[in-house]
Amino acid sequence: MAKTFYYDSNDTLGITIDDGAFGISGGVLAFSAGNVVTNEERVADQSISTAVSSFANVNASNGDAIRFPFSSDKKVDFIAVYMNALETHDLKFAKEGATGNQYDEITDAHFSSNMAKGWHLKEFTEVTSDNYMIYTYNGNIEYLTETIIGSKLAFEVNPEIGMSEVEGFNTEVNTSIGGVEYAVKMGDPRTTMTMDFSSVSSTFKNSLQDMEMEVQDYKKFIYSEDGTTGPFHYVRLEGPINFKEVSYQRYSASISLVEQLS
């Protein structure tokens, strides 16, 4: 599979997350709002540090749900979730159908139990809806800290050989009044990755620009070295993507990514 960016293409950060319950009756999956999940906003707050809590399950037909309510139809072709410890229960994903409050499970987006700490990602055929929800299945979800839903952008070509990685020590070195040098560790080291493309199509350039306009330099997203298999890097753009026309409708591009620690 190709190297891929997975990003929030629908400004999930700008909506108010709903919590409530799901129920299946007569084969119909529905959502009912209610104050049952604690800290549900953490599911899309640009942080993998703190988990949603009280995200409980009763049985396969009843349990807690978290809804992403958009004001208009949004296209989605992947979902990624981050667990901050081993999660032993399943998580499902669904979209609202044409009939109000009747949801369709996206079966290719079913996260099975025993998810290790880290990112887990599912791709599926693109769907469109104004409401999406994640919900419990066979037990309480305890370690979910972040969810990204949106559009994937697979590279049409790989970056040039020699992609650079720079390890930042994240340490501040100071000198005391007496001339003694000392260091203060501000956090764990983090990596800056720079990738260069010598020639990409105008189509791929436009797709990169669409992503750039959405994430800018503050929204975090996932860079995968190999599609859904990873490894996955939680990153943000260090600055604008640099494009240069090198021939008719062909462009060079340079992208700098900063790995995020939380």
Domain extents for the chain? 9-151, 164-259
How confident is the model at residue 181, as a pLDDT? 73
CB 30 within 8 A of CB 23: yes
CATH topology of domain 9-151: Jelly Rolls (2.60.120)
How confident is the model at residue 100, as a pLDDT? 87
- Indicate the pairing of strand 18-25 with strand 232-237: unpaired
How confident is the model at residue 175, as a pLDDT? 72
How confident is the model at residue 167, as a pLDDT? 61
Contacts of 70 (CB under 8 A, 6+ apart): 10, 15, 130, 131, 132
How confident is the model at residue 250, as a pLDDT? 96
**Longest distance between any two alpha carbons in the chain, whole Å:** 78
State whether residue 193 is helix, strand or coil.
Answer: strand
pTM of the model: 0.90
- Give the chain's residues under pLDDT 70: 1, 161-174, 176, 178-180, 182-189
How confident is the model at residue 170, as a pLDDT? 55
For residue 202, give both structure tokens.
């105008």
